[in-house]
Amino acid sequence: MKKWFAVIGDPIAQSKSPEMHNTWYEQDGLDAAYVPIQVKAEDLEKAVNSFKLLGVSGFNITIPHKTTIIPFLDEIDETAKHMGAVNTVVRLQNGNLKGYNTDGDGFVRSLEEKIGQEHRHQPLLIIGAGGAARGIAYALKKSGYEDITVTNRTISKAEDIIDALGSGKVITSDEVSKSLGQYKILIQATPAGMQYGGEVSLPFSIEQMSKGVIAADIVYNPLMTPFLRHAKAIGGTVVTGVGMFVHQGAIAYEHWLGHYPKTEFMIERITKQLNEA
């Protein structure tokens, strides 16, 4: 019988997830389909109950439902509980819906695909303290990153992340301006630089990045944000947001279908599309 999957969000038309998952199903010879569905905040509970009734095998959740979906699910995995956000739902054999979060692990896989594991002891700064930053911080800590600092416009949210991690440091935007050069790894986890994100810009200068910096951005449209362009211009290593996007989808795919799909060609394909856009 055909398996059905979906991504829900509002807006949803821009999502690249349907194309990615449908390509994997085709490659793997699966009788499955993945569709984008726009769901308004006030309709979320009804949508989740409908998926349950209709036997949808799994779905992804994007902005703005990642946190608000939690009370409507039957079970929540430990990582997602810790992060307070769900981006993947799996229908279990008994029909229960279980929430997971694959964003943080997707980011770490993408980062380490590029730089390996030898930088885990280096000082690392996460810029931003929203849902994605929280997941990334948790996954980095779990993977053995030892020296994590978080900065955010709203400082209390950065403090919440560090409290939840149980180690690490918080710094203000003013402090970042003076100390940016001390960090070997910089992770940009706000919408700054996003094509359709309005006028968001970082509340400090990025001029002080060190020459050997490893700069990762989780925004992937455009592929090269101003943050990454600067890092590249001074000879740094850059990690675009495409790898995180593909790996978070691949981990969801593995939860649903039991094996990891091919990610390398998918990263190349989406990178090419964005380069040509």
Across the strands, what pairs with 89?
59, 99
245 binds ligand NAP (CB under 6 A): yes
- Please tell me whether residue 236 binds ligand NAP under the rule CB under 6 A: no
Q: Is residue 105 part of the contact set for ligand NAP (CB under 6 A)?
A: no
Q: Does 194 bind ligand NAP (CB under 6 A)?
A: yes
Which residues, listed in sequence order, are joined to residue 58 by a DSSP beta bridge?
Answer: 5, 90
Q: Are strands 88-91 and 97-100 parallel, antiparallel or unpaired?
A: antiparallel
Q: In this chain, which of 39, 83, 133, 206 binds ligand NAP, going by CB under 6 A?
A: 133
66 is catalytic: yes
Q: From residue 211 to residue 230, what is the string marking binding to ligand NAP with x (rule CB under 6 A)?
A: -------xxx----------
The whole-angstrom distance between residue 90's C-alpha and the CA centroid of its chain comes to 18
Chosen residue from 18, 191, 222, 261 binding ligand NAP by CB under 6 A:
191
Query: Alpha-carbon distance 218 to 239, whole Å?
Result: 9
Residue with tokens 């059905």: 4
HSE-up of 249 (CA within 13 Å, CB side)?
29
Give CA–CA dist 22/35, Å, rounded.
9
Give the Å distances, CA to CA, from 155 to 72, 96, 162, 181, 210: 30, 37, 11, 21, 24
Nearest distance, CB of residue 93 and ligand NAP, angstroms: 29
CB of 220 to ligand NAP, least distance (A): 5
137 binds ligand NAP (CB under 6 A): no
Minimum distance from residue 28 beta carbon to ligand NAP (Å) = 22
Tokens coding 130: 């929203």
128 binds ligand NAP (CB under 6 A): yes
Q: In the window 141-160, what residues touch ligand NAP (CB under 6 A)?
A: 152-154, 157
Q: Where do the H-state alpha helices sit in 55-169?
A: 78-83, 103-115, 131-142, 155-165
State the catalytic residue, choosing from 2, 40, 46, 66.
Answer: 66
Catalytic residue annotation: 66
Binding site for ligand NAP (CB under 6 A): 103, 128-133, 152-154, 157, 189-191, 194, 197, 200, 203, 218-220, 241, 244-245, 248
